[in-house]
Amino acid sequence: MIKVLKPGFYSSIQDVGRFGFQQYGVPSSGAMDQNAAALANGLLGNSENAAVLEITITGPTLQFNCVTKICLSGADVSPKLNNVPLTNNKLIKVNPNDVLSFGALQTGVRCYLAVSGGFQTERIMGSRSMYRGVTFHYVLKKHDELELNSVTIEAGEQNSRLRIQQSYLESAVLPAFKGPEFDLLSAVQQKQLLSTRFTISKDNNRMAYQLNEPLSNTLEAIITSVVLPGTVQLTPSGKLIILMRDCQTTGGYPRVLQLKESAINSLAQKFTGHEVSFQLNTQY
């Protein structure tokens, strides 16, 4: 079990997501940066769908009450175990009463804490991903207790470290496919969409990221249709909204681009003021 001493800015349990329930209006949710979550799980030998803790910008303070192994991936939030600095992408043995805390954000936005065997928190509709209205808990709060399995760690087991390709954390180019309404844009609008360097607005969260620079827009709203995480919507005012993991299942704005999965992961590591641009992928 882990005791939450401080919850941090926005920490929630996530996994690969909740699938097959979008027809009931349930968002797929899941770790914003699936790449980092998979890496932390992979290094621990967890299954791909093991639940991890997603930490945003300011980390929580957590106290362990069992022996386990942990691994951190994604953003570097200056992690410390009992005040001793830790490194991401490294297996770390944890003992009862150890305290994991975080400091200044160095790179990225979202850090993932995986524990051996994954968090054993409530599972609803095949997923432990927290989402308001679906799971009882939707964000970490002070005094919460997070269930996990205690593990025995064999003597002589070495802590290992892997050198990881982390360039996607910094990448400002978001590869995308055409969205269903892309071809309705004029050639000029398409060029503007694909050549502008956009900045991320202060409205960015697990549901969506808004971009500041408007696009000239002449498209009408569409009849409400399905949307997906990674869909780039063009609003009547010309502002672009990039839908993220907790997005609604339907929407009425034209869908001009669909980000590749890797681009959603990259974007999840950016926030207010960061610049991004789109790169059209014509090959499916």
Partner 1 sequence: MSYKLTYKPYGVHAVLIEWPKQIDTAILDDLLHFKDLILKKNRNTILEVRSAYNSLLVVYVLEVVDFKTAFVELQNIYQSNTDVLKTESRLWKIPVCYDAHFGIDLEYISKVKNCSEESIITRHASAIYTVYFIGFLPGFLYLGGLDSVLFTPRKSTPRLKIEKGAVAIGGNQTGIYPQESPGGWNVIGNSPITFFDATKEQPCFAKAGDKIQFYSISLQEYNQIKTLVEAKVYQLESEVLYD
Interface with partner 1 (CB under 8 A): 19-27, 124-125, 132-135, 177, 179-180, 222-226, 228, 230, 248-250, 255, 258, 260-261, 284
**CA dist., res. 247 & res. 20, Å (int):** 15
**CA dist., res. 55 & res. 134, Å (int):** 20
Residue placing its CB nearer to partner 1 in the complex, 107 or 190: 190
Copy the structure tokens of residue 185: 């844009």
Nearest distance, CB of residue 245 and partner 1, angstroms: 14
Copy the structure tokens of residue 261: 């999965």
Positive/negative CA dihedral, 113, 118, 120, 126: positive
Residue placing its CB nearer to partner 1 in the complex, 25 or 273: 25
What is the β-pairing status of strands 68-76 and 61-64? unpaired
| Count of other CB atoms within 10 angstroms of residue 131 | 23
Residue placing its CB nearer to partner 1 in the complex, 33 or 98: 33
Residue placing its CB nearer to partner 1 in the complex, 113 or 227: 227
**CA dist., res. 273 & res. 284, Å (int):** 31
What is the β-pairing status of strands 173-178 and 275-280? parallel
Copy the structure tokens of residue 209: 């990221």
Q: Can you tell me whether residue 190 is helix, strand or coil?
A: helix
User: Within 13 Å of residue 248, how many CA atoms lie on the same side as its CB?
Assistant: 9
Nearest distance, CB of residue 153 and partner 1, angstroms: 36
Residue placing its CB nearer to partner 1 in the complex, 140 or 232: 232
Nearest distance, CB of residue 271 and partner 1, angstroms: 22
Nearest distance, CB of residue 73 and partner 1, angstroms: 24
Nearest distance, CB of residue 127 and partner 1, angstroms: 11
Residue placing its CB nearer to partner 1 in the complex, 2 or 247: 247
CB 101, CB 83: distance < 8 Å: yes
Nearest distance, CB of residue 230 and partner 1, angstroms: 7
Residue placing its CB nearer to partner 1 in the complex, 91 or 185: 185
Nearest distance, CB of residue 232 and partner 1, angstroms: 12
**Per-residue CA distances from 65 to 14, 52, 98, 270 (Å):** 21, 17, 8, 33
